[in-house]
Amino acid sequence: MAGRPQVTGFFDPRTFSIQYVVADPATRRCAIIDPVLDFDEKSGSVASRNADRLLDFIASQGLTLEWILDTHPHADHFSAADYLRRRTGAPTAIGEKVVGVQTIWNDIYNRTDLPADGSAWDRLFADGDRFRIGDLEARVMFSPGHTLASITYVVGDAAFVHDTLFMPDSGTARADFPGGSASDLWRSIQAILALPDETRLFTGHDYQPGGRKPAWESTVAEQRARNTHVSTCETEAEFVALRSRRDATLPMPKLILHALQVNTNGGRMPAPEANGRRYLKIPIGALGEPDWG
């Protein structure tokens, strides 16, 4: 694991998301991982405040953007990948299994105009693929479970795990979305925890349990010893039972039906209709019954 990237996290309190700028200190070249496009579901307004904050930081540090990377199609925020590509010309990338997610959600949305071929991104990564950020070598690990397309980016001594492991006091990500699997999530976590103990792990969300300040960096050793789900489960069966009980209590993310029609298309908004306005499509009853309370 040669190399130690400079990692800067940007917390978005509206979605509890962490976005990253990952830079090679030697060449001053960088990548953005999991950028957020601001969306207010009450007004339908979209803004680029989070994404512009990343660009301002890159400019202030004299960095050159080489990649715009997503770990998976997000269900709780819009991806700013397309916005950033149009602003910078940098290529976008995601895992190749995104075509399976596109197939699932094209059916849910009854959408026939979007091919399930991953062509919305400039590159689709397969498990084991390698690429470079400056002089740093980056490697892709297939990490399904939260979604069937989730991947981990390993860059030098850092791994960007997004919705697999949260901070040790928060456990692991849910696995009950369409295409998700608690068994796959367990196996993905075991592969991540097989990295060297000192590997820095960067998560994609922090829900601030107990009202603590946002946090997003841990190590493999810390997760193995203290993660509230992983350290208490010795077998896959125990983890699947724990994860399934937990998932049964969770409501669907409030933006899942908004976000996935955007994020399965590389962060592109729907095309304007005849009146010049763009519309999101909400399929009624697509994700089961909520707890009406």
Across 105-129, average pLDDT:
95
Q: Could you read off the pLDDT of 151-180 as tens digits, one per residue?
A: 999 999 999 999 999 999 999 999 999 999
Q: Could you read off the pLDDT of 215-267 as tens digits, one per residue?
A: 999 999 999 999 999 999 999 999 999 999 999 999 999 999 999 999 999 99
Distance from chain centroid for Cα 262: 14
Q: Could you read off the pLDDT of 204-225 as tens digits, one per residue?
A: 999 999 999 999 999 999 999 9
- The per-residue pLDDT for 2 is 65
Closest CA to 32 of 154, 128, 146, 133: 133
- The per-residue pLDDT for 289 is 85
Q: Could you read off the pLDDT of 33-83 as tens digits, one per residue?
A: 999 999 999 999 999 999 999 999 999 999 999 999 999 999 999 999 999
> What domains, with CATH codes, occur in the chain?
6-260 (3.60.15.10)
Q: What global pTM score does this model have? A: 0.95
